[in-house]
Amino acid sequence: MTATVTIFHNVVWSRHKGAVFSALHNLSAAGTIRYAVVQIAETETDRVGFSDVDYSFHRYPMRKLFDGCYEDVPTWRMIVRLTSEVLKTKSQLVVLPGYHRPEYWAMLAACIMTRKRRAVFCDSTAFDRPRRLLTSIPKRLFFSLCDGYFGFGERSREYLMSLGAKRERIFVPCQAAALPRSFSRGQALGERLAARRDARPVLLYVGRLSEEKAIDTLLDAFVHVLGTVPQALLRIVGTGGLRDALADRVAALALEDAVQFVGSLQDEPLSREYFGATCLVLPSHSEPWGLVVNEALSHGCPAVVSDRCGCVPELIVEGQTGLSFPAGDVDALARTLVGAVRVFDDVEHTARTCMERIARFDPLSAAANIERGCAAMLRAPDDRRRRRTPSRAGSRGIGP
């Protein structure tokens, strides 16, 4: 018998989710579960200008509820529409996009009212969402009313368990990047070696230019790096509200000759940045995962990340695929970056190690884990009824 699952996701902008949902759709053709994907809006305000919405990564049937930015839709309208969508769906399982907005609580209530199984995506960790009494109580309640959870990495699993979720009901689909169509795993090593042949040390930042990314910490550390590695170059890829403030800081630190603001890049131009960099640097104060680390490792480029990044346990093998440092510690970051230039000087060995580490973090593996979780949640009611109801033979005291 075929079961149906409706997955709600916040924005179409997320290329990586498009790649995963496309793989999930392909898996469903040979399975017993059919998936309906509802994208709530096109993009978010902090994504505008960073990159366009690329529908080519979404190769699966989907419905989009609102054009434009998620934040531009009035909350009351969002609640009404999403509640209506949950009430009218015939799916046995509904996967909610989160737990931190009023509309998600309304969707949860609609699931309970119509007796639908419900799961929730959670990409938070204790590092980016510190536990506070006033916020942890509502989260505990929300999670207690769900039948299952999709976390992303061990830190997400630990965070869910700290708020009362049971380990056996937490499913962890790996985070997977949506690489450019032109990207070839078979050719990546050769491109990496060619780009780094006799090249100067290049440190690369990719992401939004926003407060939580701690780019100011990176700039302060880079001053010390230049004292030891004077030929080093820092390239900053991305856009955001701090662009002008960061440019002023670069000028104040007299770093104009060694720091380059590249702007927003995608696809082949971004691949060239990864191929050509000594390492990626992600100094964030708050980072639930860090998909740019997936992208970097896929290109054979190791990563220096703060210990707040959710991907550390899965992706960062110290001295092999990357290095980590205490978030906000300028001196530690400077020492780590200087060390990275030395530790990762064997480009071929490092690239091979990075590519081997990231190989299983692909959209197909992520989709397979989502399917496994959905199947387990759909089976759960029957399993519970069997546990509550003694067998007829057992009630008569008849042995095997």
Q: Which of 47-56, 100-109, 322-331 has the lowest mean pLDDT?
A: 47-56
pLDDT greater than 70 at residue 340: yes
pLDDT of residue 52: 83
Model pLDDT for residues 54-68, shown as the tens digit of each residue: 999 999 999 999 999
> What average pLDDT is seen over the chain?
92
Model pLDDT for residues 241-278, shown as the tens digit of each residue: 999 999 999 999 999 999 999 999 999 999 999 999 99
Q: How far apart are the first and last CA of the chain?
A: 31
Q: Is the entire prediction scored with pTM above 0.95?
A: no
**Per-residue pLDDT band at 133 (split at 50, 70, 90):** low
Identify whether the C-beta of residue 182 lies closer than 8 Å to the C-beta of residue 275. Answer: no
Model pLDDT for residues 182-204, shown as the tens digit of each residue: 999 999 999 999 999 989 999 99
pLDDT of residue 30: 87
* Helices (H) then strands (E): counts for the chain: 15, 13
User: Tokens 């491109």, residue?
Assistant: 191
Closest CA to 204 of 135, 136, 266, 278: 278
Model pLDDT for residues 266-319, shown as the tens digit of each residue: 999 999 999 999 999 999 999 999 999 999 999 999 999 999 999 999 999 999
> What is the mean predicted confidence (pLDDT) over 333-338?
98
> What is the mean predicted confidence (pLDDT) over 216-241?
97
**Per-residue pLDDT band at 366 (split at 50, 70, 90):** very high
* DSSP letter (8 states) at residue 300: T
DSSP codes, 368-382: HHHHHHHHHHHHHHH
Closest CA to 300 of 389, 164, 224, 204: 204
pLDDT greater than 80 at residue 135: no
pLDDT greater than 60 at residue 226: yes
Closest CA to 103 of 85, 80, 129: 80
Closest CA to 175 of 389, 387, 370, 371: 370
Q: How far is CA 24 from CA 102, 117, 293, in A?
A: 28, 19, 23
**Distance (Å, whole) CA 45 – CA 58:** 21
Q: How far is CA 37 from CA 8, 43, 63, 95, 311, in A?
A: 6, 16, 7, 10, 26
pLDDT of residue 376: 95
Domains of the chain by start residue, with CATH = 3-176+362-388 (3.40.50.2000), 185-358 (3.40.50.2000)
Q: Tell which wins on pLDDT, 36 or 48.
A: 36
**Per-residue pLDDT band at 134 (split at 50, 70, 90):** low
Convert 181-200 to b/e letters by CB count within 10 Å (16 or more is b): eebeeeebbebbeebbeeee
Helix then strand then coil, % of the chain, to nearest 5: 50, 15, 35
**Per-residue pLDDT band at 395 (split at 50, 70, 90):** very low
pLDDT of residue 356: 98
pLDDT of residue 394: 43
**Per-residue pLDDT band at 170 (split at 50, 70, 90):** very high
pLDDT greater than 70 at residue 391: no
